[in-house]
């Protein structure tokens, strides 16, 4: 019997040929050497496969998994890689990010120290498309807790889930995470029906049943893009629909603490009113959002009335004028069949 790799590194790629050399080299050059590297490509239109194949001929630890048709789903690619993984631990190293050479060694040490830790993640640097560091995640975390993420910790995942995850995904980048594979076998694979928030749900399920460790040293480089696709999901209502569905799903298996949950509910209502006035969201999608909000918000109607009054009648009734003019009411009237 051959020895199995200790860590499976999954690199799901789509159209990131320009970033792949840096990504792959940052994996192969890790100080922790006992790894397999599974590189997936989802029918990229650029020369990604040429780049990937070149590295595969240079290092026997690399295996390739190329799709014959585009899956259209980040989380289908995650699941395909996880199904192929043979290691004790899994690192989903997104193809446009890269890592410090000590990333794996540092994080795996935390997992090895406590069998109850389901995942460990490090802090990250934000970088632009030219590799310049453009910021960190201090403010992101300080808005939740002014001290927690300033130092290493091991905490109950359930505690973090209940306190923060109704409001914010506290694990913003998969590339910063190493997961115990046995935990995935308990919770199941990523939910492929989500387009945007499948990672949020995936982390929440892990947090619900295990401890979580955090390394405050930024060992991950998280690339930020100008993203027209994500902008479209906001204006067509996809992003809000997924958010309401995600919160509803999480609320089904945990009990959120009220402080951040209440802020999130206000946020969802505000986004919904903005979509009524400013975006071209279908009536079918509005009905789905309405149903989701009613399920998760016990004070739905009082919150709705409060937000409606605030948005419609403030600033010289500008919200009402938009609602009647180019907003959802106008579109309802416009779509009525002519007699």
Domain coordinates of the chain in residue numbers?
A: 7-225, 229-335
**Averaged pLDDT score across all residues of the chain:** 91
Split at pLDDT 50, 70, 90, the class of 324 is very low
Q: Residue 314: what pLDDT?
A: 57
CATH code linked to domain 7-225: 3.90.550.10
Instruction: Check whether 156 has a pLDDT greater than 80.
Output: yes
Q: Residue 93: is its pLDDT beyond 50?
A: yes
pLDDT average, residue stretch 109-131: 97
Distance CA 94, CA 157 (A): 23
Average pLDDT over residues 217-228: 87
Q: Largest Cα–Cα distance in the chain?
A: 77
Query: Are the C-beta atoms of residues 118 and 103 closer than 8 Å to each other?
Result: no
Of 326 and 255, the structure prediction assigns the larger pLDDT to: 255
Task: Report whether 104 contacts 32 (CB < 8 A).
Answer: yes
CA distance 27 to 107: 14
Tell me the average pLDDT across 319-331. Answer: 48
For the chain, strand residue ranges (E) read 7-13, 35-41, 62-66, 89-92, 98-99, 117-127, 133-136, 153-156, 177-180, 211-223
Assigned token pair, 30 = 């890790």
Q: Which residue has the tokens 């298996």?
A: 253
Asked whether the beta carbons of 131 and 227 are under 8 A apart, the reply is: no
pLDDT at 102 over 90: yes
Return the pLDDT at 4. Answer: 86
**Confidence grade of residue 309 (pLDDT, cut at 50, 70, 90):** confident
């Amino acid at each position: 019997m051959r020895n199995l790799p200790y860590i499976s590194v999954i690199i799901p790629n789509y159209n990131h040929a320009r970033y792949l050399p840096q990504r792959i080299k940052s994996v192969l050059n890790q100080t922790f050497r006992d790894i397999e590297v599974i590189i997936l490509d989802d029918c990229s239109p650029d020369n990604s496969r040429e780049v990937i194949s070149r590295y595969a001929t240079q290092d026997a630890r690399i295996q390739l998994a190329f799709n014959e048709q585009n899956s259209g789903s980040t989380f289908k690619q995650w699941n395909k890689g996880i199904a192929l993984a043979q290691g004790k631990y899994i690192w989903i190293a997104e193809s446009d990010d890269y890592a410090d050479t000590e990333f794996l060694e540092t994080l795996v040490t935390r997992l090895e120290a406590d069998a109850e830790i389901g995942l460990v993640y490090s802090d990250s640097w934000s970088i632009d498309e030219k590799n310049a560091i453009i910021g960190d995640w201090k403010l992101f975390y300080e808005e939740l807790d002014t001290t927690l993420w300033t130092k290493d910790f091991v905490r109950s995942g359930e505690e973090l889930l209940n306190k923060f995850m109704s409001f914010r995904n506290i694990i913003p980048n998969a590339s910063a995470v190493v997961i115990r594979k046995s935990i995935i076998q308990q919770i199941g694979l990523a939910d492929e029906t989500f387009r945007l928030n499948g990672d949020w749900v995936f982390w929440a399920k892990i947090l619900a049943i295990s401890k979580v460790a955090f390394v405050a040293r930024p060992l991950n480089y998280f690339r930020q893009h100008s993203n027209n696709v994500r902008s479209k999901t906001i204006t067509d209502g996809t992003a809000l629909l997924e958010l309401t569905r995600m919160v509803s799903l999480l609320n089904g298996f945990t009990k959120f603490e009220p402080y951040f949950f209440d802020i999130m509910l206000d946020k969802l209502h505000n986004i919904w009113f903005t979509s009524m006035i400013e975006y071209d969201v279908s009536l079918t999608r509005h009905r789905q959002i309405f149903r989701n909000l009613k399920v998760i918000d016990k004070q739905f109607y009082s919150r709705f009335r409060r937000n409606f009054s605030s948005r419609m009648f403030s600033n010289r009734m500008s919200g009402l004028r938009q609602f009647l003019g180019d907003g959802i009411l106008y579109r309802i009237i416009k779509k009525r069949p002519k007699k």
